[in-house]
Structure 1
Amino acid sequence: MQARLLLEDGTLFTGKAFGSEGESTGEVVFNTGITGYQEVLSDPSYCGQIVTMTYPLIGNYGITRDDFEFIRPFIHGFVVRQHEEAPSNWRAQYTLDSLMKEYGIIGISEVDTRMLTRLIRRHGTLKGILTTSGKSVEELKEQLDAMVVMNDQVDRVSTKRRYHLPGPGESVVVVDFGSKDGIARDLSKRGFDVIVVPHDTTAEQIRRIHPDGIILSNGPGNPKDVPHAIEMIRSLLGEYPIFGICLGHQLFALASGADTAKMKFGHRGGNHPVKDLATNRCYITSQNHGYTVVADSLKGTELEVTHINNNDGTVEGIKHTKYPAFSVQYHPEAAPGPFDSSYLFDDFQSMIHQFKQSLPNIPQQSKMLAAAKSRAEAKGE
């Protein structure tokens, strides 16, 4: 069966269909990973997007349930150069094609993904429509012109109810903006008692849980589309140690008075070099984001840059100069990608220990009140 991908600039790609039949629209982006297509498919941060894989052979090692990063995929389409229909892997439980049919994802293969990637790099992220129908190009263009970029991705992918992953150690609330399972896995490895809560959980509801720390997870879309989360973070700054990841990093920056902006084509892949400004060490990181913290907007805030991207100089990490809070734009839980940055979860655990020791003889409620008072005094309230 034939499939077609039409971009908003009028470029038409024709190839072979795989996965589900039908029609789908979304932002067309590219990922530079050589492996990890299953983790890419199941990453909720791709909600509403049509993903192009730059590596030419996809599907060769099949699909394994254990490698899912979320309970189901939310991407709107998959574009590859060559789709392998007969995977070779002793762990494989079924094929890429069968996974995509199960979740209604349209795929297109046998297209020039190099050309498509170069178009996106030149023009920036483009809207696209992927179809297996026989509609005319004119009809597809009309649908594409009428397409509105989604602004409710976080609500679509976030958990709807709180759940608990028991552990013997410190209690950590993970605010789920589209959290990958890798975050929970890394926290559980360190013995954390993990409570995952919906994206619209209020500051007061988190206070009632009495956590030792807070993780702001990754997620899809524009951080400014979740203003309630910005207010929640602003309210809790200084009361608990906070660690933001990807979208959580951007929300932490906005809550602290900085700004964010849409990137031309974003960072997506498992090979992005990031420099730690404190040590001058370079880490190879896993990334998936289309927005960034604006470096100039950090002036006048209580934030400082800790990491930058070696390729384009964008902000990759920040920390608060007064409160126990930091964040990174990349994914320390990897999946897919290198494990260079997993130490950040250890840093977060150390931050929690230090914070608890700073007020050793004061009950938790008094600690929170003291921190809130300190924050108000710092703001001159």
Structure 2
Amino acid sequence: MRVTVIDNFDSFVYNLVQYIGELGGEPTVFMNNASIQKVLKSRPDKVVISPGPKTPRDAGISVEVVRRLGKRTPTLGVCLGHQVVGYAFGAKIVPAKRLMHGKVSSIKHNGDELFKDMPNPFKATRYHSLAVDRTTLPKCLKAIAETVDGDRELMGIKHAHHEIYGVQFHPESILTKHGKTIVKNFLEM
């Protein structure tokens, strides 16, 4: 299975790439400043949009990849990639309710197939100062995970008609319990 990974210049990217390889995928990494034609020519079976600094507007080809490939290719956005998914379909990106850099939170989910065989809630590591504004989610995006604490920060979204997902937390972080299961579930879709 060919998995295209869009690298948004983040140090966690190769943890995701390693998980993908260990789980049977054949990852190919493109920096977010690559040409969209190169990415399209790679004809991926799956797409992963990586974490990274800045905002979706600054994420190079990431938004275009979601818009052009997501409707026919299962796509997973992680952290900035999650924000890219929201932004690509019209959600607003806003300052997070709390800055979370290297902090572990309890995340509850709705039982979606992305979270198959996962406890509910589970512990996940967060590294972000921006978030997808839940109140601006378009009808095509559904909330599938959030923090358990009083902030109820949006932690997972899914497209209503396509296999396009975003998770705000880092499944590839060593402190995220069951993170590899999330990557496995995505690859098995």
- Structure 1 residue 334 and structure 2 residue 173: aligned? yes
Give 1:192 deviation, angstroms: 1.1
Q: Tell which structure's C-alpha radius of gyration is larger.
A: 1
Give 1:264 deviation, angstroms: 5.1
Whole-angstrom CA distance in 1 between matches of 2:36 and 2:65: 5
Contact 2:36 2:61 in 1 (8 A): no
- Structure 1 residue 203 and structure 2 residue 42: aligned? no
Q: Structure 1 or 2: larger strand share?
A: 2
Query: 1 or 2 for the larger relative contact order (CA 8 Å, sep ≥6)?
Result: 2
The residue number in structure 2 matching 1:344 is 182
TM-score w.r.t. the length of structure 2 is 0.87
Matches within 5 A, 1:73-222: 170-179=1-10, 180=12, 181-222=14-55
Question: What SS does structure 1 have at the residue aligned with 2:81?
Answer: helix
Whole-angstrom CA distance in 2 between matches of 1:239 and 1:212: 9
The residue number in structure 2 matching 1:31 is none
| Residue number among 310, 321, 332 corresponding to 2:148 in the alignment | 310
Give 1:262 deviation, angstroms: 1.6
Give the CA RMSD over aligned residues. 1.8
Aligned residues: 180
Contact 2:78 2:166 in 1 (8 A): yes
The residue number in structure 2 matching 1:274 is 107
Contact 1:202 1:232 in 2 (8 A): no
Give 1:207 deviation, angstroms: 1.6
Matches within 5 A, 1:320-331: 320-331=159-170
Per-residue displacement from partner, 1:339-374 (whole Å, max 9, x unpaired)? 3232111111111xxxxxxxxxxxxxxxxxxxxxxx
Contact 1:270 1:338 in 2 (8 A): no
Contact 1:276 1:306 in 2 (8 A): yes
Whole-angstrom CA distance in 1 between matches of 2:87 and 2:139: 10
- Change in CA separation of 1:227 and 1:297 when aligned onto 2, cut-off 3 Å: farther
Read off the aligned partner of 1:289 and give its amino acid letter: H
5+ long unaligned stretches in structure 1: 1-169, 352-381
- Detail structure 1 runs of 4+ shifted over 3 Å in the superposition: none
5+ long unaligned stretches in structure 2: 113-118
Give 1:265 deviation, angstroms: 4.1
Question: What SS does structure 2 have at the residue aligned with 1:342?
Answer: helix
Contact 1:256 1:301 in 2 (8 A): no
Whole-angstrom CA distance in 2 between matches of 1:241 and 1:200: 21
Read off the aligned partner of 1:302 and give its amino acid letter: C
